[in-house]
């Protein structure tokens, strides 16, 4: 199995590497609780189309080792950059989902753009979710604390109860099988309790507005109108307004789990975005 050691503390981290070694490179970082497998409906078709798709399992997630420390954003960003360095990847498109978008932003502001040509923030929590002076439309901190208490009380029940909102299953066009929901809940439970609670604390403290404003590279922001985890206006739309070279694509009726409900649309948008950086002109359908 492919592993590398975190440059921060030596934690062994797992990564998947699909597609031809010579193809355009896309590096994926996942949502909280799950590993690289959440990107199945993007990585497989892109790899089959000739793109090199690489994805890591965050520490304490998937097949990566757990650590007690290292869930702060600087260390998580160092873990991500460590993968780029380990594989000597260049001209990369970084793609993050949810908390993965914060890792992408911090990786770029902390390590620069030398290995990265462009980035995509999918259903991102960046620039921040919780109410603050800089984010007056954010979620009430008391509501965040109450949600954290529910999570700590029973993680399995929490993941299961939130699945409908995660995928916005009450809205048309968001058909997801009960079997897939069960599968994703099972994958969430692979992440350790320490990793889950620590990442939640990191998300609650995010304020990345100045860092987004400092990103001078093409940025694709993809967000759903009904994202219950990262509201469109305070997260995706705000990120697109802050970044100097951002394009916002809003998916009607989509929730946080749009990587599954809108899988084909997301894959095509990512492919178009990667190709734009290579000067590839796509034929009209």
The residues assigned a catalytic role are 98, 227, 256
Taking the C-alpha atoms of residue 149 and residue 2, their distance in angstroms, rounded to an integer, is 36
Taking the C-alpha atoms of residue 189 and residue 158, their distance in angstroms, rounded to an integer, is 11
Residue with tokens 């009726």: 253
Taking the C-alpha atoms of residue 184 and residue 187, their distance in angstroms, rounded to an integer, is 5
For 58, list phi and psi in degrees, rounded to 5.
Answer: -55, 150
SS3 135: coil
- Cβ-contact 109, 211 below 8 angstroms: yes
Residue 72: count of CB within 10 angstroms of its CB: 16
- Cβ-contact 79, 55 below 8 angstroms: no
Taking the C-alpha atoms of residue 167 and residue 121, their distance in angstroms, rounded to an integer, is 18
**Bridge partner residues of 96 (DSSP):** 29, 121
- The two three-digit tokens of residue 91, written as one number: 């001209």
């Amino acid at each position: 199995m492919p592993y590398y050691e975190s440059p921060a503390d030596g934690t062994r981290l797992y990564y998947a590497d699909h597609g031809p070694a010579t193809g355009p490179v896309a590096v994926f970082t996942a949502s909280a609780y799950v590993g690289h497998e959440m990107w199945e409906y993007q990585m497989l078709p892109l790899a089959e189309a000739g793109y090199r798709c690489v994805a890591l399992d965050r520490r304490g997630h998937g097949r990566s080792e757990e650590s007690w420390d290292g869930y702060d954003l600087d260390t998580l960003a160092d873990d991500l950059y460590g993968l780029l360095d380990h594989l000597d990847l260049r001209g990369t498109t970084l793609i993050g989902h949810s908390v993965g978008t914060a890792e992408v932003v911090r990786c770029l502001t902390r390590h620069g753009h030398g290995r990265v040509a462009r980035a995509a923030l999918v259903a991102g929590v960046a620039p921040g979710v919780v109410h603050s002076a800089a984010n007056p439309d954010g979620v009430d901190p008391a509501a965040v604390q109450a949600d954290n208490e529910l999570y700590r009380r029973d993680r399995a029940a929490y993941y299961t109860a939130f699945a409908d909102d995660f995928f916005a299953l009450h809205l048309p066009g968001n058909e997801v099988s009960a079997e897939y929901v069960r599968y994703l809940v099972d994958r969430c439970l692979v992440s350790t309790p320490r990793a889950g609670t620590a990442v939640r604390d990191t998300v609650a403290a995010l304020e990345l507005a100045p860092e987004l404003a400092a990103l001078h590279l093409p940025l694709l922001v993809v967000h759903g109108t009904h994202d219950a985890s990262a509201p469109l206006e305070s997260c995706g739309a705000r990120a697109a307004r802050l970044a100097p070279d951002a394009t916002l694509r809003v998916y009607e009726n989509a929730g946080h789990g749009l990587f599954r409900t809108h899988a084909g649309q997301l894959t095509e948008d990512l492919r178009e975005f990667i190709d734009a950086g290579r000067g590839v002109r796509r034929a009209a359908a």
